[in-house]
């Protein structure tokens, strides 16, 4: 509905969304599903929010100020699962501050009143990424998790993900 957002949605996506809605109204679910797949392939989704269909754009978002273990690192799978549990299928408020070199939006994410970075740090599933973010509350939450020895802090010497990635690039 917001004209600023609508102007950035490709015409093909807009048309497919309208046609999908018509197909669903006519109970032509095969056509509606095909149109939805086309919409998804173009980087969008049709979501049902409070009994209203909403066209949503998919974004790649880097959580500002934290760095979680990679999937193959200790606690990597747990971090990914926890993040998915917090945000998956829910409405999010994303405050974007920057774009990284991989074209991801860098921002703070809130979900149902939960500050996602705070939750990840307090559960010991991420590091405060001090090189890029100096917020004292992030440092405080990491220190609290370290003191409680929760999550990755239960290990004696957890490897920092940025060092792990650097070692892999250098072939160590």
Q: Does pTM surpass 0.85? A: no
The answer to whether the beta carbons of residues 36 and 20 sit under 8 Å apart is yes
**Domain boundaries, given as residue ranges, for the chain:** 3-57, 61-163
The answer to whether the beta carbons of residues 14 and 22 sit under 8 Å apart is no
Q: What tens digit of pLDDT does each residue of 155-167 get? A: 988 999 999 998 8
Q: In angstroms, rounded to a whole number, what is the distance separating the alpha carbons of residues 115 and 61? A: 15
Give the pLDDT mean for 105-126. Answer: 96
From the list 115, 167, 169, 159, the residue with the least C-alpha distance to 137 is 115
Q: What tens digit of pLDDT does each residue of 49-87 get? A: 788 888 888 788 999 999 999 999 999 999 999 999 999
Lowest mean pLDDT among 1-10, 11-20, 67-76, 158-167: 1-10
Q: Give the residue numbers annotated as catalytic, written as ranges.
A: 62, 70, 104
- List residues bridging with 56 in a β-sheet: 45
**What dotted CATH number matches 61-163?**
2.40.50.90
Q: What is the pLDDT of residue 6?
A: 65
């Amino acid at each position: 509905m917001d004209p600023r957002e609508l102007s950035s949605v490709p015409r093909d996506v807009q048309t497919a969304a309208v046609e999908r809605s018509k197909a669903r109204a006519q109970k032509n679910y095969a056509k509606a599903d095909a149109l939805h797949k086309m919409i998804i392939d173009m980087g969008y989704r049709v979501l049902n929010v409070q009994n209203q269909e909403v066209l949503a754009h998919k974004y790649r978002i880097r959580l500002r100020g934290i760095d979680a273990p990679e999937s193959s690192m200790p606690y990597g799978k747990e971090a990914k699962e926890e993040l998915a549990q917090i945000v998956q299928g829910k409405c999010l408020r994303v405050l974007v501050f920057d774009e990284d070199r991989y074209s991801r939006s860098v921002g703070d994410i809130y979900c149902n009143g939960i500050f996602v970075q705070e939750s990840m740090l307090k559960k010991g599933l991420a590091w405060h990424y001090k090189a890029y973010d100096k917020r004292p509350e992030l440092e405080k939450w990491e220190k609290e998790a370290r003191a409680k020895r929760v999550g990755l802090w239960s290990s004696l010497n957890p490897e920092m993900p940025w060092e792990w990635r650097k070692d892999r690039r250098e072939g160590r």
